[in-house]
Amino acid sequence: MGIGIGMVLTSIFMFGYSYNKELSNDKIEEKARGLGMHYEDECKVLFKGVENND
């Protein structure tokens, strides 16, 4: 019975909660850079045996 009351109360509270599902590209890039993302042209490391034929 306690679990049922908790589920009902939680569902009522969740109706009042709104969140933004859409993230702009800028926000996604900002979060990714915070986690260590970088672009290939920003990386100055050369790996042995890898050739760049651009």
Q: What is the pTM of this model?
A: 0.39
Q: For position 21, what pLDDT does the model report?
A: 74
| Helices and strands: H and E segment counts in the chain | 2, 0
Q: Torsion angle, CA of 36/37/40/45, rounded to 10 degrees?
A: 10
Q: Which residues, including other chains, have CB under 8 Å from residue 37's CB and lie 6 or more apart?
A: 29
Largest CA distance in the chain: 68
Give the pLDDT confidence of 1-54 residue by residue, as tens digits.
888 999 999 988 888 777 767 888 898 899 998 998 888 777 776 666 656 555
Domain ranges of the chain: 2-42
Backbone dihedral region for residue 42 (phi beyond 0: left; psi -120 to 50: alpha; all else: beta): alpha
